[in-house]
């Protein structure tokens, strides 16, 4: 499963890519708005941090197909290869996805709340579809279940499109979808940190150090072996 950071804070992205095997970064207009900085500068800095091979998702703002296509071209021109344009999964979006597919621009059908939206975005030519797990839960439905249904549709219909599960509130939700075999997930830094935030893990590491130090003054293998 590809793992992405759902954030645009460059310090946080820098920290996370140093520690975790991250495949890229996803942004949306709200995430960019929170930075209170010029989005062009922020996106260029993110591209610089993650490198040209990593995936970078950026959303088109207009709600009409023509405007979406224009935004998409500007996004890809600025950020280069491995940049994926997020397009809302609405009728104008499906139209834009079809046009962009013909132009060789990779898209992600975003704002997905139902399996049928995902199916239509995939059929129009999107390479990713992004169900919003937590937001679906908040509507009184089961976001994990909807995401699994989308995964089943893509697999059963042999569609050249992968789930990019998004909008998580905890690491367990990501794990459940990882076990199910979805292709990619994007999560906020706090959720990614929570993957390994466990007192039992910290305690085990501390115990190993403590037990080893009972041997004497030296603290590391290299001090003994070097
Ligand atoms: C990703 O595609 C979405 O923009 C994002 O994950 C939404 O997350 P939120 O529901 O936490 O805002």
Predicted confidence (pLDDT) per residue in 112-170, tens digit:
999 999 999 999 999 999 999 999 999 999 999 999 999 999 999 999 999 999 999 99
Mean local confidence (pLDDT), 50-65: 98
Asked if residue 76 lies in contact with residue 97, where contact means CB atoms within 8 angstroms, the answer is: no
Mean local confidence (pLDDT), 59-84: 98
Q: Is 219 a catalytic residue?
A: no
Ligand 1 center to 99 CA (angstroms): 25
Atom of ligand 1 nearest to the CA of 130: 2
Please give the pLDDT value at position 190: 97
Q: What is the mean pLDDT of the chain?
A: 97
CA dist 187 → 78, 136, 157, 193 (Å) = 24, 15, 27, 10
Whether 134 lines ligand 1, by a CB cut-off of 6 Å, is yes
């Amino acid at each position: 499963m590809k793992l992405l950071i759902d954030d645009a804070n460059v310090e946080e992205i820098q920290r996370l890519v140093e520690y975790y095997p991250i495949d890229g970064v996803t942004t949306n207009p709200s995430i960019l708005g929170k930075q209170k900085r010029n989005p062009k500068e922020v996106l260029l800095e993110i591209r610089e941090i993650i490198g040209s091979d990593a995936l970078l998702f950026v959303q088109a703002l207009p709600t009409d197909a023509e405007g979406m296509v224009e935004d998409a071209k500007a996004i890809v021109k600025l950020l280069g290869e491995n940049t994926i344009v997020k397009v809302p999964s609405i009728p104008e979006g499906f139209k834009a996805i079809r046009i962009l597919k013909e132009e060789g621009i990779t898209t992600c059908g975003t704002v997905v709340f139902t399996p049928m939206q995902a199916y239509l975005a995939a059929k129009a030519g999107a390479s990713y579809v992004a169900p919003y797990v937590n937001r679906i839960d908040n509507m009184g439905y089961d976001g994990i279940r909807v995401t699994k249904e989308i995964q089943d549709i893509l697999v059963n219909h042999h569609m050249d499109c992968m789930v990019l599960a998004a909008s998580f509130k905890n690491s367990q939700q990501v794990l459940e979808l990882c076990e199910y075999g979805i292709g990619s997930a994007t999560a906020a830094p706090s959720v990614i940190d929570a993957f390994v935030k466990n007192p039992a893990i910290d305690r085990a590491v501390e115990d190993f150090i403590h037990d080893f130090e009972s041997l004497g003054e030296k603290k590391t293998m290299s001090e003994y072996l070097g």
